[in-house]
Structures are given as structure tokens and as C-alpha cells.
Amino acid sequence: MSRPKKIADDCRSVSCPSKRDCILSAAQEIFLEMGYGAASMDAVAARANVSKATIYAHFDNKRALFDQVIRGRCRRFFQGGDILAQVDAASDARSALRQFASDLLSIILSPGALAINRVVVAEAPRLPEVGETYYAAGPVPAQARVTAMFNDLTRRGLLAVPENEAPLVAELFLNMLKGDLHTRALLGVAPSRDDHAPLVRIAVELILARYGARPSAVSGGP
């Protein structure tokens, strides 16, 4: 009975530097899996092994907590430079585009990305700034990255995308990849096919058919 005071000092796990981070981590889990409306501060407190009062000592109210959670996730997305890593080393346009497409799909369709997407879309009408933040941290850098890639491939003579068209083409390329797969994943509808190779292949061929530098062997490639 020497130390009856400090009982629940650990936040259920490692990697909880401060109580504040511990709360943010728990809140993120709760919000992403239950949605903003269904999530309760009690649930967050329980998961964080903290009392509700402690939460309110760090955050003004539920909405502010939610805001910080989303902003935190967005920052991590943005900082994660590993996302959409370099494909510049690739030899030809076809393989560069394909590799890029695969990487992008695996990111966009990951459970974490889907969860945050759902929550942000759901609350965007009530929290416009959250929508803006998310858009600026996800789609905007992705599109910039693809635009740069098109310009680079064109500069190297592997593609022929006019520089003023590049942003629009980048948008269309991203759209082609994301589209229906993303919709299905968001809605919880079982995907029609488990691998995305055919879709990626034809999307790439559509780009090459119009913007390929050479007459471009239109066949599927390796």
C-alpha cells in the first residue's frame, strides 16, 4: 500500500508521450470507427483511460477535439513524403504510370484513408473548414505530384503532354483510378474484382494513346 495514487498512468499502450496525445489517439479511433455523431466523450475517455474532465481540460468541446483529430491526420498524410514515392527512375512512361497507379490505389483504398474520408464528407456541411483542410492535405498534393510527373516524363521525351494541359490530364488520370473502386469501398460494397490490374492497364493505355511520345505500341505491353 505504498503507492495507491498512481494507478492508471499508462494509456493502455506504449507511445503516449503526454495525456493530451493519449486523448487525441483515443479520439481518433473512436471518431473514425463510429462517426462524429455517434461518438461520445464517455467513449473517448474510456478508451484513453482518462476522465471526461481531463478531456475538457485540454479541449474546449467535442467539436474542437474532432477538429484537432482531423487536422492531425491530415498533417500526417501531408508529411508522409513516402506516400507516392519517386517513380522517376523508371525507364519508360508505361511502367512509370503503372507503378504510380498501383501505389496510389493502395493508399486511397486503405482502411484508414477510407475512414477519415467518410467522416470528413459526413461532417463537411457543418464543418466547412475541416473539408478544406482535408482537401488541401490529400487531393491537392496528390494532383500536384501527378502533374509534376507528367511534366517530368514529357521533359524526358517519354510523353507529350502540353504543359498547360498537364494539370487537367493529371486530374483525369487520378479520377480514372479512384472512381468506382473508391465509391464501392466507401459504401462497403464488395469489389467486383480483387485486383486492379485491368483497370490500371487500360487507364494507362488511354493516356498513352493520346499523349504517348512515339506512335506508341497500343497493345497491352508486358
- Smaller CB distance to a copy of itself: residue 88 or 132? 132
Under DSSP, the state recorded for 27 is: H
Chain positions 81 to 140 lying near a copy of itself, rule: CB under 8 A, are 118-126, 128, 131-132, 134-135, 139
- Smaller CB distance to a copy of itself: residue 67 or 123? 123
Query: Applying CB under 8 A, which of residues 76, 198, 217, 221 lies at the interface with a copy of itself?
Result: 198
- Smaller CB distance to a copy of itself: residue 54 or 117? 117
Q: Are 218 and 205 in contact (CB under 8 A)?
A: yes
Q: Which residues contact 221 (CB under 8 A, 6 or more apart)?
A: 94, 201
What phi and psi values does residue 19 have, to the nearest 5 degrees?
A: -60, -35
Of 31-39, 52-60, 61-69, 71-79, which part binds a copy of itself (CB under 8 A)? 31-39
- Residue 56 touches DNA, criterion: CB under 7 A: yes
- Smaller CB distance to a copy of itself: residue 71 or 118? 118
Distance CA 172, CA 170 (A): 5
171 binds, among a copy of itself, DNA, none (CB under 5 to 8 A by kind): a copy of itself
162: left (phi over 0), alpha (psi -120 to 50) or beta: beta
Interaction mask 18-47, DNA, x per CB under 7 A: xxx------------------xxxxx----
- Smaller CB distance to DNA: residue 51 or 183? 51
Q: Are 186 and 195 in contact (CB under 8 A)?
A: no
| Residue 21: HSE in the Cβ half-sphere, 13 Å Cα cutoff | 9
Q: Which residues contact 120 (CB under 8 A, 6 or more apart)?
A: 70, 130, 131, 134
Under DSSP, the state recorded for 88 is: T
122 binds, among DNA, a copy of itself, none (CB under 5 to 8 A by kind): a copy of itself
Give the interface with DNA as residue ranges (CB under 7 A): 8, 18-20, 39-43, 49-54, 56-58, 61-63
